[in-house]
Structure 1
Amino acid sequence: EGATAVSLNLFLRPFTRGLEAPVSEECSFTYSIEGAEEPGVGVMGVDWVPVVGCAGSLKGELMFAGFGIQSSSDRYDDFAGKKDLKGKVAVIIGGEPRHKRKFDGPEQSEFASLWVKLEALNEAGVSGVMVVRRGSELPKGKRPSFEPLPLEYRYTHASFPGVRDRRPPRRRPAVIEITPAFAELLTGDDLLKVATKVDRSGSPKKVNCQPCTVDVESSLRLQDVRIDNVVGILPGSEPALVEEYVVVGAHYDHIGVDPGGRVGPGADDNGSGTTGLLAVTEALSISRPSRSIIICAFAGEEDGLLGSKAICALLPVPKEQIVAMVNMDMIGRGSAAEVAVLGTNQNPSLLGVLRRANKMGKTGVRELVTGKGEDLWQRSDHFSFHQVGIPTLFFFEGLPISRNADYHTWRDRVDLVDPKKIENTCKLVHQAICLLANDESRPPSPSSRR
């Protein structure tokens, strides 16, 4: 139901998510520069765009406020000497200074978060905020050949370390994003050059904007956006068990772009898991276990397990026919001889399945870590199945997650992923699924739904 057939036994299972989008006919931007003969107009989508969650009116005189950052630990204050921000429209530079020592160096600190900036700007009494987007930042010699991402590209700041746990302040001024060229027209200064000077010095720079007032209406409206889970079915080989199923899944989304414009490649999280999903599916198509297999590639995991929740709200088969679910998320880093598996605390009978699976053939896994990592238990797609009472196992690269310093960063690259680690994990996953799909008995329901 609700699925689109791609080919025999392969389907797109769509769900929708509400996302804010600009309402063009309700957006406007006029500006007046002292000495100009007549007011000017900014074009939405070309010169500026609304910022999601921050619609409203911006009216007043422009004032440059650096990066909009106050940090006592970094001895940096963009607001020093700017006590007259009240009632002004603040012009700030996106992200944070790219200084080699301050603001966690090449990492993203909490001060890159727009929400952190808005707390300080709101306290200063600004009437609105205009954010100037900078181009991407990569290590020297690895700068991309493409142009900076266009205005309509939506940055997904919330998933990156430092800004991941921040939430928009309850009271916040209206915010829009503007291009560097439009910012220069309005302020009379090249703010990207100013930003580069701050990068080098690690100290705020003063800019006296030319007298300019703006009158902006920024409007957003919630709209449903279609997102697809991909679901395949591999029929079982035993007629008496073909109507029973084992689910194997991995999420295929990642975290987007950080406030510095750096793309998160997601090679380990979760390119490794989706690669594993394809490899295990191919192996199962050869071994053809007795029960049928449901293969799921989930969308929206990073935004709150959205894809797996959608699947579990409308399962492709009755829940009673699902024997177990196996999830692979981040299986490409760490020792190739070690695999962590969560779910045995909630499903004690599955510990025996795991141990049998590791003895069936040469998996290369010498250390099977179980019964630990409960802080990660609710953080991947297996948990959606667990909540509806389906026994689950979560295969993961190793504990604690802090061992992987590249998690949710632009450094999660394919050259850091170990193919042997993925291979060993996939062998273990395949053998565990074969046991679950061939054993006459079924594992009992989880001991709890938490």
Structure 2
Amino acid sequence: MMWKYYLFLSGISITCQTVLGQANIEQSPIDSKDLMTTVKFLSSERFKGRLPGTVEYEQASRYVATRFKNAGLNPLLGNSMLQEFDEEVNYILDAKVFLIDQNNRPTQPMYLGEDFVCRGFTGSGEVRGETVFAGFGIKTDEYNDYRSIDVRNKIVIVFKSAPPWKPISGSWGDTSPRGKARIAKELGAKAIIIIGEPQMTPNTMVYGSIACGPKPHIVDFPMIHAGSRLTDSLFSKLPFKPAEYYEMIKRDKAPHSIETDKSVYINVRAVYHEAKKTYNVVGYIEGSDPKLKHEYVILGAHLDHVGYQGDRLYFPGANDNASGVAGLIAIANAINKSATKPLRSVVFVVFSSEESGLKGSKHFVANMPFTADKVVAMLNFDCVGQGDSIAIGGKLSYPKLWKKAKKLDHKTTKLLSPRTFGGGGSDAQAFHEVGIPTLYFHTSGGYKFLHQITDKPETLNVLVFEKVVHLGYLTTMELANKNYKREMDRQKRKAS
């Protein structure tokens, strides 16, 4: 998902055998078998990729609530651990793509999940037509990929990203998939096919995404992601490959749009709902100190993933982010079994709708039953099951908080990478924006299968997974027992 790609790019790879050889840690209260059992269950076909607004997501959220209750947590908001809010949802029932000849006859089938996938908020429709490559799909006064081509009744092919240089005006406008589709539709196109570009992360277009940009939804306009085979076929009659066109446009800062002399049949069936119920799962352990129990340490991880397409394709989301949810459940169990009870209250929040724009975490922060100044820190766990070492964001904003985790790692897990960044990121962002110190627990080298159908339990590194969660538990207990005083964002202090 787009909220994590920058972590992949900034991550480092440390040889797993070398690092793990250094890690002589004490007996962990975290049960790795239980971690993996939880991940396997949440990433199974039963939950079909945990798409918010679906029955499967609601079932997953109720499962997490039960696990929280069994770990000794109590509801924080009223009588239920489920915090309800509305979210748009698009059920993709079926999708077919064929290359067709000039007589509209199918010549080459493309396979869902192998050669293409749909954008999560694709529109429905049965269309056929010639394809036209339109660069980045941008149309502004400064730069216009549609300047010299006619796309009426055709299918537009565009790169996923915005142009790689800064616009003089300061903005390319809405470059989201919906934004690009909206432009193409207004110019008379019937569908849009999105392709990759050099150095894209992940390096495949066959991945799921429900990050499609702002409403309104375009109900009757199919949006397709093309994989390598479909892309190569579409460009087979052109003098250059997509990567070469990308470099040409980048070099000239001018469009190189062109008709491909290839035609495509697309048929997508989807059912869109502007508002369906989805849920954060919220529970807490009350602090044992009469005064400090009114201060809070918050742990968060998102439960949602990118769902399914058709009746055979779903995105398991084992690392992203069944791993983080399993980590929160394991930490709750460890605290419940510990002889040392936290002085401060510890809040556990499993968020919905991270993948579509951090909506669950924003909703929780906007509706907290206490003020932000009562929150000592927020620890976020996202994609903690793969990779070869522990990584924690937040040091550049909250160095004292980060050093707490580093000292604990030095004494125990011995896996923490020095690479870091500022506060926020993913579901920690909403907390960071209201002045709450944050740490973002993830891993180095852990995004190989991001948003792909291969993000399965068997790809996880169980040793690293256990130790990330163990370090999260130790950090939680440290913060919950009066060993940290809130600090202001160092980056903001420098800027002012």
TM-score band, normalised by shorter chain: 0.5 to 0.7
CA distance change for structure 1 residues 411 and 442 in 2, over 3 Å: closer, same or farther?
same
Runs of 5+ consecutive residues of structure 2 not aligned to the other structure: 1-61, 76-80, 92-119, 136-148, 159-176, 194-204, 223-228, 238-260, 266-270
CA offset at residue 380 of structure 1?
A: 0.9
The whole-number CA distance in structure 2 between the counterparts of 1:222 and 1:436 is: 42
The whole-number CA distance in structure 2 between the counterparts of 1:256 and 1:373 is: 30
Corresponding residue SS for 2:395: coil
CA offset at residue 367 of structure 1?
A: 3.6
The whole-number CA distance in structure 2 between the counterparts of 1:165 and 1:292 is: 34
Q: Does 1:317 align with 2:370?
A: yes
The residue type paired with residue 395 of structure 1 is: F
Corresponding residue SS for 1:242: helix
CA distance change for structure 1 residues 440 and 410 in 2, over 3 Å: closer, same or farther?
closer
Q: Aligned residue for 2:384? A: 331
2:184–2:192 CA contact under 8 A, matched in 1: no
The whole-number CA distance in structure 2 between the counterparts of 1:230 and 1:392 is: 20
Q: Does 1:380 align with 2:423?
A: no
The whole-number CA distance in structure 2 between the counterparts of 1:282 and 1:250 is: 16
Corresponding residue SS for 1:13: strand
Q: Does 1:276 align with 2:327?
A: yes
CA distance change for structure 1 residues 358 and 167 in 2, over 3 Å: closer, same or farther?
closer
CA offset at residue 445 of structure 1?
A: 3.3
Q: Does 1:12 align with 2:82?
A: yes
The whole-number CA distance in structure 1 between the counterparts of 2:87 and 2:215 is: 22
1:245–1:321 CA contact under 8 A, matched in 2: yes
CA offset at residue 296 of structure 1?
A: 0.7
The whole-number CA distance in structure 2 between the counterparts of 1:390 and 1:243 is: 15
CA offset at residue 419 of structure 1?
A: 1.7
The whole-number CA distance in structure 1 between the counterparts of 2:448 and 2:404 is: 32
1:327–1:393 CA contact under 8 A, matched in 2: yes
Per-residue displacement from partner, 1:377-429 (whole Å, max 9, x unpaired)?
A: 55311111111111111111116xxx633112222111101121111111111
Per-residue displacement from partner, 1:167-219 (whole Å, max 9, x unpaired)?
A: 6999x997267xxxxxxxxxxxxxxxxx99x98997887799xxxxxxxxxxx
Higher relative contact order (CA 8 A, sep 6+): 2
Q: Aligned residue for 1:423? A: 466
Corresponding residue SS for 1:412: coil
CA distance change for structure 1 residues 202 and 281 in 2, over 3 Å: closer, same or farther?
farther
The whole-number CA distance in structure 1 between the counterparts of 2:452 and 2:359 is: 21
Per-residue displacement from partner, 1:95-137 (whole Å, max 9, x unpaired)?
A: 9xxxxxxxxxxxxxxxxx78767766765x45x5699xxxxxx
Q: Aligned residue for 1:301? A: 354
Aligned with 1:231 (options 279, 282, 285): 282
The whole-number CA distance in structure 1 between the counterparts of 2:310 and 2:286 is: 45
CA distance change for structure 1 residues 316 and 419 in 2, over 3 Å: closer, same or farther?
farther
The whole-number CA distance in structure 2 between the counterparts of 1:372 and 1:130 is: 37
Runs of 5+ consecutive residues of structure 1 not aligned to the other structure: 22-50, 73-82, 96-112, 132-158, 178-194, 209-219
The whole-number CA distance in structure 1 between the counterparts of 2:311 and 2:234 is: 16
CA distance change for structure 1 residues 249 and 94 in 2, over 3 Å: closer, same or farther?
same
Q: How many residues align?
A: 316
The whole-number CA distance in structure 2 between the counterparts of 1:299 and 1:122 is: 33
Identity %: 27
CA offset at residue 222 of structure 1?
A: 7.4
The whole-number CA distance in structure 2 between the counterparts of 1:247 and 1:115 is: 35
The residue type paired with residue 369 of structure 1 is: S
CA offset at residue 239 of structure 1?
A: 3.0
Per-residue displacement from partner, 1:224-275 (whole Å, max 9, x unpaired)?
A: 3222110111122333422222111111111234799742211111111111
Q: Does 1:175 align with 2:220?
A: yes
Corresponding residue SS for 1:312: helix
- Aligned CA-pair RMSD: 4.8
Q: Aligned residue for 1:65? A: 129
Q: Does 1:395 align with 2:441?
A: yes
The residue type paired with residue 439 of structure 1 is: K
1:94–1:259 CA contact under 8 A, matched in 2: no
1:382–1:394 CA contact under 8 A, matched in 2: yes
The whole-number CA distance in structure 1 between the counterparts of 2:82 and 2:342 is: 24
The whole-number CA distance in structure 2 between the counterparts of 1:369 and 1:281 is: 25
Of 406-415 and 422-431, deviating more is 406-415
2:401–2:484 CA contact under 8 A, matched in 1: no
**What TM-score results when the alignment is normalised by the length of structure 2?**
0.52
1:63–1:85 CA contact under 8 A, matched in 2: no
2:282–2:349 CA contact under 8 A, matched in 1: yes
The whole-number CA distance in structure 1 between the counterparts of 2:350 and 2:211 is: 26
The whole-number CA distance in structure 2 between the counterparts of 1:407 and 1:380 is: 14
2:284–2:348 CA contact under 8 A, matched in 1: yes
Q: Aligned residue for 2:140? A: none
CA distance change for structure 1 residues 322 and 340 in 2, over 3 Å: closer, same or farther?
same
Corresponding residue SS for 1:226: strand
The residue type paired with residue 396 of structure 1 is: H
Q: Aligned residue for 2:306? A: 255
1:242–1:290 CA contact under 8 A, matched in 2: yes
The whole-number CA distance in structure 1 between the counterparts of 2:417 and 2:332 is: 24
The whole-number CA distance in structure 2 between the counterparts of 1:227 and 1:166 is: 18
The whole-number CA distance in structure 1 between the counterparts of 2:460 and 2:452 is: 14
